[in-house]
Amino acid sequence: MLDAQTTADRLTLDDMREAHERIRPHINRTPVMRSDYLDELTGAQLFFKCENFQEAGAFKVRGACNAVFGLSDEMAEKGVCTHSSGNHALSLSYAAGRRGIPCNVVMPRTAPQAKKDAVRRFGGTITECEPSTSSREATFAEVQARTGGEFVHPYNDPRVIAGQATCSAELLEQTGGVDAVIAPIGGGGMVSGTCLTVSNLAPQTAIYAAEPEQADDAYRSFKAGHIIADDAPKTVADGLLVPLKENTWHFVSKNVTDIFTASEQEIVDAMKLTWKYLRVVMEPSSAVPLATILKNPEVFKGKRVGVIITGGNVDLDKLPWIKG
Amino acid sequence: MLDAQTTADRLTLDDMREAHERIRPHINRTPVMRSDYLDELTGAQLFFKCENFQEAGAFKVRGACNAVFGLSDEMAEKGVCTHSSGNHALSLSYAAGRRGIPCNVVMPRTAPQAKKDAVRRFGGTITECEPSTSSREATFAEVQARTGGEFVHPYNDPRVIAGQATCSAELLEQTGGVDAVIAPIGGGGMVSGTCLTVSNLAPQTAIYAAEPEQADDAYRSFKAGHIIADDAPKTVADGLLVPLKENTWHFVSKNVTDIFTASEQEIVDAMKLTWKYLRVVMEPSSAVPLATILKNPEVFKGKRVGVIITGGNVDLDKLPWIKG
């Protein structure tokens, strides 16, 4: 049985499978979508795993549900708490709401309104902080001390990683296998889950991560061989602001083939392309993989590539290609 | 074998089934999507059939492919032609492109840029007209005389109606049946196809149509008992500007339970709601059904309701809830 202290090296495929059984009643088996036009444009065969179609609008509901529904009744009593740039906050609120326990979240005041609204809609309570790692950690310490809830870290928690790992298990089943998988990287929760599943079930499949140039700490960490953390990066990809931690670094350093970066304009262009041709509402963070595929055609050409669309919680009044 | 002159009363389920076999290689079996939030909001169980996820972004690819791939080689030689406010034009271009024959379309100059771009991307040739029935018909007569292509009417063609009928056959299979189906109505092609399939396969299912108040000629026709046509209605729902014709009137007058209307603001609100909670990019016309469900809760409460999302070709730079 996993708890918050289990270290990443002890996670196994069985943990992913247990998570999948546990969360199945609470998540959607999201569809894999295709676009002939985007295939032509990239020269690859792209399989978009649409986690934006989760009820809470993000893959993070997998890890959050695994953590919340894995708690003993005694542990669950005081509820759960976390800090998050948005999607983990609302996903944890969603999971806690379904279990009927309280959820307290610390979010940067700059988080998209759509994400704050969703937290409240699912019954979570928000405490705002400044958009920096230091402010987030200080504010969270106060909230956790006050509420006594179980801390579910947005990505450095083995229960969360095991939950996120269920996404690529579905992707492999739905596609019959791919040559490569690519996902956005912030703290590394989705990428770590992908590593856990794919490196075991399909070891021949390359695992790539995609990151904004303006928040490229995972890229620099990967090249340097140790974790490098920025305090307050700024990018349109609001879901990718946080640094790697030891549990995600374990997977990133061990299983990731390469990390690619994209500029702000490339991210916005890829986002608009996906809205236009795949016709899905997804957030800027989810566009980083396509942006890097377009930028590195030689890596992906002729390949079957799974692309994780991580979330779809966007402020529809403030789209990044429309000047306000 | 259907041709352009077959009258609507002679269409059967076998025509729909033949169409389904014919078009299967060229269309997507689009997913049916759910949203707990929209269910709560309406008190109904909504099953959204997402035809915006066709490669061409609209259900119209079903009827267009049935017409184009049903042509003899001799008939196909001079290509096809049509007039359309957008989605039939680009769908016919898509179908003609896949068969490798020419396609000439007449479109109002006010049609969304996204739709004009798609026609050209699929290899169609556009001749523009003024946004009125009279201008469209005059311009089209000239284009048809010049090219000699086979005319595939956007909706008053039995081959097209049989193609559109395949959509609700899939919906019934995917949902295991519903209490009601609702689709937007312009010329009535989708609604007629729905009538053909649903009145035969699931006669207990109610069939509703949804129309903009500002282009409510089908509503007024339905209440009056004969076709009423407006020359140049104006609404944000750019796909619903055309009047009923005899083949669609046949089905609308015989099989439709009721027609509901919604205001421009109600349509835009429903569009934004769907983008936000279902996270699909769909066009204003596709939002009219949800707008009327929200307006007539007593009709839909507690019911299983199939909602046809007819298309997703939108100008992303000009969203109706963002003042430009």
Residues of B in contact with A319 (CB under 8 A): 316, 319, 322
Q: Which two three-digit tokens encode residue B229? A: 């046509």
Q: Which two three-digit tokens encode residue B132? A: 């009125």
Residue A71 and residue A115 in one domain: yes
Q: One-letter amino acid identity for A141?
A: A
Residue B314 lies inside a defined structural domain of this protein:
no
Who among A33, A52, A272 is closest to B53 (CB)? A33
- The distance from CA A266 to its chain's CA centroid, rounded to whole angstroms, is 20
- Whether B156 has a pLDDT exceeding 90, the answer reads yes
Residue A84 and residue A133 in one domain: yes
Q: Which two three-digit tokens encode residue A137? A: 């950690």
Of the candidates B4, B31, B12, B38, the one whose C-alpha atom is nearest the C-alpha of residue B271 is B38
pLDDT in tens, B33-92: 999 999 999 999 999 999 999 999 999 999 999 999 999 999 999 999 999 978 999 999
Handedness of CA B101, B107, B113, B115 (dihedral sign): negative
Residue A146 and residue A169 in one domain: no
Domain boundary among A151, A173, A200: A151
Domain boundary among A102, A135, A151: A151
**Residues with Cβ < 8 Å from B170, sequence gap 6 or more?**
B29, B30, B49
Q: Which two three-digit tokens encode residue B300? A: 């839909």
Identify the pLDDT of residue B324. Answer: 62
- For residues A160 and A144, give the distance between their C-alpha atoms in angstroms, rounded to a whole number: 18
B53 inside 8 A of chain A by CB:
yes
3 state DSSP class of B152: coil
Residue A105 and residue A246 in one domain: no
Cβ pair A53:B279 closer than 8 A = yes
Distance from CA of A86 to the nearest CA of B (A): 15
Q: The domain containing residue B203 runs over which residues?
A: 8-59+157-309
Residue B316 lies inside a defined structural domain of this protein:
no
Of the candidates A34, A18, A97, the one whose C-alpha atom is nearest the C-alpha of residue B36 is A97
Name the average pLDDT for chain B: 96
- For residues A116 and B259, give the distance between their C-alpha atoms in angstroms, rounded to a whole number: 38
- For residues A77 and A160, give the distance between their C-alpha atoms in angstroms, rounded to a whole number: 19
DSSP state for residue A203 in the 8-state scheme: T
3 state DSSP class of A304: strand
| Number of domain units in chain B | 2
Contact by Cβ (8 Å): B18, B162: yes
Residue A124 lies inside a defined structural domain of this protein:
yes
Cβ pair A279:B279 closer than 8 A = no
Residue B19 lies inside a defined structural domain of this protein:
yes
- For residues B316 and A15, give the distance between their C-alpha atoms in angstroms, rounded to a whole number: 42
- Whether A231 has a pLDDT exceeding 80, the answer reads no
- Whether A324 has a pLDDT exceeding 70, the answer reads no
Helices (H), chain B: 13-23, 36-42, 60-69, 73-76, 87-99, 113-121, 133-147, 158-175, 189-201, 217-224, 246-255, 264-277, 284-295, 297-300
- Whether A1 has a pLDDT exceeding 80, the answer reads no
Q: One-letter amino acid identity for A125?
A: T
B323 inside 8 A of chain A by CB:
no
pLDDT in tens, A57-89: 999 999 999 999 999 999 999 999 999 988 999
pLDDT in tens, A112-128: 898 999 999 999 999 99
Residue A203 lies inside a defined structural domain of this protein:
yes
- Whether B106 has a pLDDT exceeding 70, the answer reads yes
Cβ pair A281:B282 closer than 8 A = no
- For residues B211 and A170, give the distance between their C-alpha atoms in angstroms, rounded to a whole number: 39
> What's the maximum distance between 2 C-alpha atoms anywhere in chain B?
54
Residue B52 and residue B182 in one domain: yes
Of the candidates A193, A179, A202, the one whose C-alpha atom is nearest the C-alpha of residue A293 is A179
> What is the value of ipTM here, to two decimals?
0.93
Chain A: residue nearest B312 by CA? A279
